[in-house]
Amino acid sequence: MTSTELERKVRQLDNDVHEIYSILGKISDTQGKHSEALADAQNSLAHVQGTLARHGNRFNEIDGRLEGIDSTLTDMRAVQARQGNRLDGIDGRLDGIDGRLNGIDGRLNGIDSKLDAVLDRLGPGPGPAT
């Protein structure tokens, strides 16, 4: 190998080494950008996780309130059922009273007809006082 060929090969190798370092520099820059993007994504995910945790806490609070409302509604249904039972009892008693009043009405009608018969037998009463 001649010295010219050797110099040419050395220059070629030198150029190749510089090109490799240039490519490695670009790769390093790209990795730096990727690292920054990943850090930003990690920060965004941490923010989303915090938001989700707050939403979870809020849902738990709402769930607790809904359980309280459900319990209150259950109590109100029980009260309503008791009141319905009471009203059914009152309705039964009113039916009994209505039956007794019908009996009294029947007896009064009987008395009324007897009184009419007595008045008919007595005839007309004295005339108007003058």
pLDDT digits (tens, 9 = 90+) for 52-89: 999 999 999 999 999 999 999 999 999 999 999 999 99
Distance CA 82, CA 88 (A): 10
* pLDDT confidence band for 124 (50 / 70 / 90): confident
Q: Record the tokens describing residue 29, joined without a space.
A: 């820059």
* pLDDT confidence band for 31 (50 / 70 / 90): very high
Phi-psi bin for 123: left (phi > 0), alpha (psi -120 to 50), beta?
left
Distance CA 50, CA 63 (A): 20
Enclosing H/E stretch for 1 = none
The pTM of the full predicted model, rounded to 2 decimals, is 0.49
pLDDT at 129: 63
Chain segment 2-28, per-residue pLDDT in tens: 889 999 999 999 999 999 999 999 999
The residue with tokens 């390093």 is: 28
CA 34 remoteness from chain centre: 45
- Three-state DSSP at 125 gives coil
